[in-house]
Amino acid sequence: MRIGVLGTGTVGQAIGSRLVELGHEVRMGSRQAGNEKAVAWVSGAGERGSEGDFSDAAAYGELLFNCTAGEHSLEALDAAGAQNLAGKTLIDVSNALDFSDGPPPAVGISNKDSVGASIQRRFGDARVVKALNTVNADVMVDPAKVPGDHVLPICGDEQAKPGVVELLGEFGWPAERVIDLGDISRACGMEMYVTLWLGFMNSLGTAEFNIALAR
């Protein structure tokens, strides 16, 4: 599949590299074509990797990942262009970490709203699914890094979800460990969880962990 990965940070690079490894063709998008990190990524990614601006990467992808910082995702997607998102599955991996008051960060959009929901509101023709933002980048693309039956909550567009679950399966997430929380309004809880995630990380001394559900 041709996939557009918007964002050149740790998350975009981890997801882009894993997708290429799985045989997909990936275009990494950033504010301007020729972005230093994107070019470096392409040189390591081999012939299935390419880069361009947000609009170019979004037009290229049959499916898109939003790996931009949540505080700036709407801007980035405006630059990508609504017409390049329409009808496509957009997997939103972002967290809106607000460091304006120093660490630890606040959650920039919270309580009844979320980055995921605000993207779906602004781009009504995109099929937004929130996923993967509850784990570290390494764990996102290789869940076996953490032992046990830990889980991945997702939420969002009903028609897009089966394809997302399949792609998560390629990453290594068994379908029974993907917990469907419902529509995109549930992204709120998935994004607010980052504050507890930071607490666990601080206490455990590692980012390579995840939650399991006992019931």
Task: Say which residue the tokens 């972005």 belong to.
Answer: 35
Contact 140, 168 (CB under 8 A): no
Q: Name the DSSP letter for residue 72.
A: G
Q: Are 91 and 58 within 8 A, CB to CB?
A: no
Binding mask 169-208 vs a second copy (x if CB under 8 A, - otherwise)?
A: ----------xxxx--xx-xxx-xx-xxxxxx-xxx-x-x
Task: Indicate the residue among 23 and 147 with the shorter CB distance to a second copy.
Answer: 147
Tell me, residue by residue from 134 to 153, as one string, x for binding to a second copy by CB under 8 A and - for no binding: ------------xxxxx--x
Per CB under 8 A, the segment of 26-34, 77-85, 101-109, 159-167 that binds a second copy is: 101-109
DSSP-derived pairing of the beta strands 2-6 and 97-98: unpaired
Residue 5: which residues within 8 A CB-CB, separation 6 or more? Answer: 12, 15, 16, 19, 26, 27, 28, 29, 57, 61, 64, 65, 67
Q: Which is nearer to a second copy, 55 or 185 (CB)?
A: 185
User: Which residue number, 85 or 115, has a Cβ lying nearer to a second copy?
Assistant: 115
Of 2-10, 78-86, 97-105, 156-164, which segment contacts a second copy by CB under 8 A?
97-105
DSSP summary character for residue 105: P
Summarize as ranges the residues that interact with a second copy (CB under 8 A). Answer: 98, 101, 104, 106-107, 110-112, 146-150, 153, 155, 179-182, 185-186, 188-190, 192-193, 195-200, 202-204, 206, 208-215
